[in-house]
Homo-oligomer: A and B are copies of this chain.
Amino acid sequence: MDVDAIKRTLEGSGLRCTPQRYAVMAFLMEHPKHPTAAEIFQAVNRLDPRSSRATIYNNLSDLVRAGLVREVAVEGRAARFDAKGMRHHHFICDRCGNVEDMEWYDVPKPASGSLGKRVLRECELIFRGLCTKCAPRHASR
C-alpha cells in the first residue's frame, strides 16, 4: 500500500492527510492485527513525528466516523481497531481478548416487523471461543 493510495483514501473521505493521521491509518493497514489505541500510540511514536495520546484517539475516532476503520469493543479490555478492507467477521478469544478476522458470511436480516422504528445500519457476526494460542492451554485455566 503506497503513500498516495492512503492519501487518496483519507482525502476521499474528507480527511486531511496529516502526518499523524497518515501514520495511524498506515499502521492499521499494515498491521491487520486489531491493535489497541495504546499499541498504535507506541508503534507510530517509534517513528517521527511524535503523536500525543489525544491525537491518536482523535484520529481513530475521525477514521471510525469516516467509515475507514472499525472499532471492536471487547469485554473488560481496551477497544481494538481494524482498517476496513474486505468484509469479514471477527473471532474474539475468551481468554486473551485477541481479535482475529473470520471469513465473511451473509447474515440473516431481521424481519422489518421486528425492527419497528429502528434504523438498521449493519449486522455483525462475532465468534467467541479460544484462539489458536490459547486453545491448547484450555485445561490449565
Closest CB pairs A-B (n = 10): A73-B73, A121-B129, A105-B108, A73-B75, A119-B130, A120-B129, A117-B132, A124-B126, A119-B129, A71-B75
A138–chain B nearest beta-carbon distance, Å? 7
Which residue on chain B has the smallest CB distance to residue A135? Answer: B119
Copies of this chain held together in the complex: 2
A131 interface contact, C-beta 8 A: yes
List 4 additional A-B contacts (Cβ < 8 Å) besides A75-B79, A121-B130.
A100-B118, A107-B125, A110-B127, A125-B126
Tell whether, in the assembled complex, residue B76 and residue A79 are in contact, meaning their CB atoms are under 8 Å apart: yes
By a CB distance below 8 angstroms, the chain B residues around A85 are: none
A74 interface contact, C-beta 8 A: yes
Find residues 70-121 in chain A having any chain B CB closer than 8 Å to their own CB: 71-76, 79, 91, 94, 100, 102-103, 105-108, 110-111, 114, 116-121
By a CB distance below 8 angstroms, the chain B residues around A50 are: none
Interface size band for A: 35 or more
By a CB distance below 8 angstroms, the chain B residues around A31 are: none
The CA of A44 and the CA of B127, in the complex, are separated in Å by: 33
Asked whether A122 and B128 contact (CB < 8 A) given A73-B75, A74-B73, A105-B108, the answer is yes
By a CB distance below 8 angstroms, the chain B residues around A43 are: none
Tell whether, in the assembled complex, residue B116 and residue A123 are in contact, meaning their CB atoms are under 8 Å apart: no
